[in-house]
Amino acid sequence: MPALVIREILARGGYVRTRGMLAFLVLCVVLAISACYELVEWLSALLMGQGADEFLGTQGDPWDTQSDMAFALIGGTCALLFLSRLHDRQIQVLENPEA
């Protein structure tokens, strides 16, 4: 759910004005977080040597990193598509409690 947290920070902070740019930046940050996590996994694999496959649970999948990032993109996109309107209403209630 980092997509909604990022969306709220950008929307409430007034950093982005259009919905399209907001969605684009949210997905960019989601993918950046995913890439950083994959780099941490890679570093741990280097440091752990042969025990890395068991620890990381890749089970020999050479596309593990790419599939993890693809699922992060899919999850972020689904969160934006299905929860943006609800999120906008909740932000509006927080900003205008008397309305």
- Concatenated DSSP letters for 45-58? HHHHGGGHHHHHT-
Residue 33 has a pLDDT of 96
CB atoms within 10 A of CB 63: 9
pTM for the whole thing?
0.84
Q: Which phi and psi angles does 82 have, rounded to 5°? A: -95, -20
Region of residue 61 (left: phi > 0; alpha: psi -120 to 50; beta: else): beta
State residue 50's pLDDT score.
66
Residue ranges of the domains in the chain? 2-95
User: Residues 6 or more apart from 35 whose CB is under 8 A from it?
Assistant: 69
Q: Find out whether 51 and 89 touch, Cβ atoms under 8 Å.
A: no
Write out the chain's pLDDT in tens, 99 residues: 799 999 999 999 999 989 999 999 999 999 999 999 989 888 887 887 766 666 666 666 778 889 999 999 999 999 999 999 999 999 999 888 886
pLDDT, position 51: 66
